Chains A and B, each alone.
Chain A
């Protein structure tokens, strides 16, 4: 089984978010970048298939050379090789289009990634990729088993879960539950040493125009200070929620 895990290179959760160039660009100054946390679930599940079902695992990212340390980290966790599509990830459609070329050229049975990235939160690349390729697709996946050419996958639904089955090739957008958080892999020293020698192929993008553009960013308006209510006076809280906030 050939698996592709798509990795998004995103600011660490604890980063301060600022915008620059008159609010038109994300300010990456001083920001630490990591593997998108949702993609980590996908990568860890892929490692399981590699160890238990002899799968090969390639990781791919769309981005300039700045994403290479993130891809190397994925290699250190255990992926076999990496592909970088050498262009800016202009929007979700554009990224899906680039990845669809990678899948068509290399041929994969299973493509795993997170259900969204924690930077632009679009949640669009997995589904778009599936439709561009005509592959089956499971979103918000919280459990995945593969048996020969068929897959059983659970997905989160509002208020519960649904179990689906289909054949490969398949695109899966994962989240917590695909593997448990405690089982997420982190690179060890041996992995880091080995990752340096693993192949990282850089390929040119295909020609495609982005469908959307974010023309302006802004930060949320600073919130007023928290109104503190004395613990002996919960009636005041009830009145504030009723009369001022109007939520009860």
Chain B
């Protein structure tokens, strides 16, 4: 028995998501009184993973896997799980993780719980807590199959340092043509910008900002905080900001540590997408805006006065640290 975690990387580098999933796997392995195995694919160096408890690291090096392919990656993870006799398999909730997980579940004939937000409530029977109804509820899900697949929600358990000496082992799964029926023609990524998916802090603007020309202060605030910028649905519908910045129910989900909503009233569809963020701050002229009911901190005031002031004060604060 063992716990297998698939730690994905971006252009060779492991990010917070990978450290969190390894931290999670380590704790689950302790809870189940078994060991942790971490699988990596075409990573440059896996040393950093030992800080979070990765005792055994399986490394796959295969040029065909340089570009993500859901079925091929799922095939790799399945073969690693069988080789390591892993009954609990954990993947992340990035776009790639969400893509490969259901394929992997069928390959392993595993019950799959996605959006898991905490360590297992019990190992036998195996139960995990997950978000349901767009974070308006939680469900305790019991998995009854021999293999159990968990999709860990982003920013759910955080990082837990647990330094170990890791042992690396090369692994060559046998892949076949069926794994590569889909080809990747092009990848278009915004570089040099913090993405909403990666950000710990997200600064978001709504229609209250009156026009796209007023976004400089949002970007400035994001800059000081090292945050990603986002927007409400009306703003992206009006074309003030790109669709890729739209957060909310039909846009991107936000599970940041800090979400700052500026000039956003807080329609239920918007809140459904952002209410998993840990701390929410709202700045709005209207004290009756629904967002004040969902937020932790609020300022009733004009964004055009409050935001520039906040930027100045934050700069002072940051330089005093």
Contact = CB atoms under 8 A, between A and B. Distances in A.
Interface in B97-146: 98-103, 105-107, 109-115, 127, 131-145
A235 B313 contact: yes
A101 to B, nearest CB: 15
Contacts of B74: 131
A102 interface: no
Interface string A214-226: 1111111001101
Interface in A136-172: 136-140, 152, 155-167
Interface stretch (A11-19, A47-55, A75-83, A185-193): A11-19
Interface in B61-87: 68, 70-71, 74
A193 B231 CA distance: 40
A134 B179 CA distance: 10
B295 interface: yes
Contacts of B305: 231
Interface stretch (B39-47, B51-59, B164-172, B278-286): B278-286
B296 interface: yes
A57 B183 CA distance: 27
Contacts of A217: 132, 137-140
Contacts of A240: 297
Contacts, number: 259
Interface in B280-318: 281-282, 292-302, 305-306, 309-310, 313-314, 317
Of the four ranges (under 10, 10 to 19, 20 to 34, 35 or more), the interface on chain A belongs to 35 or more
A226 B292 contact: yes
A88 B112 CA distance: 18
Contact of A241 (B96, B105, B279): B279
A104 interface: no
A159 B197 contact: yes
B314 A238 contact: yes
Given A214-B140, A242-B317, A156 B95 contact: yes
| Chain A interface, DSSP helix/strand/loop, else mixed | mixed
Contacts of A125: 102
Nearest to B133: A17
B141 A214 contact: yes
Given A163-B186, A219-B137, A231-B305, A124 B112 contact: yes
Contacts of A242: 317
Interface string A15-31: 00101000000100000
B19 to A, nearest CB: 16
Given A13-B268, A155-B95, A211-B143, A176 B251 contact: yes
B198 interface: yes
A138 B182 contact: yes
B320 to A, nearest CB: 10
Contacts of B96: 157-158
A213 interface: yes
A131 B299 contact: no
Interface in B180-206: 181-190, 193, 195, 197-198, 200-201
A122 interface: yes
A241 B131 CA distance: 26
B272 interface: yes
B201 A248 contact: yes
B237 interface: yes
Interface in A192-243: 211-220, 223-224, 226-231, 234-235, 237-238, 240-242
A217 B106 CA distance: 26
A164 B182 contact: yes
Given A223-B294, A235-B313, A242-B317, A131 B137 contact: no
Given A160-B189, A215-B127, A166 B183 contact: yes
A92 B106 CA distance: 11
A11 B188 CA distance: 35
A164 B250 contact: no
Contacts of B295: 226
Nearest to B292: A226
29 contacts: A13-B269, A37-B250, A118-B133, A123-B102, A124-B114, A127-B103, A134-B178, A157-B68, A159-B198, A163-B184, A164-B182, A165-B182, A166-B182, A212-B113, A212-B142, A215-B140, A218-B137, A226-B294, A226-B297, A228-B297, A229-B298, A231-B306, A234-B310, A237-B299, A241-B258, A241-B297, A245-B279, A247-B201, A247-B279
Considering the complex of A and B, which 7 residue pairs feature the smallest CB-CB distances, nearest first? A127-B102, A231-B301, A211-B111, A160-B189, A131-B106, A159-B195, A139-B99
Interface of A: 11, 13-14, 17, 19, 26, 37-38, 91-93, 96, 115, 118-128, 130-132, 134, 136-140, 152, 155-167, 175-177, 181-182, 211-220, 223-224, 226-231, 234-235, 237-238, 240-242, 245, 247-248
Given A181-B250, A215-B142, 9 more contacts: A121-B132, A130-B102, A159-B195, A166-B181, A211-B109, A212-B141, A212-B143, A216-B140, A219-B138
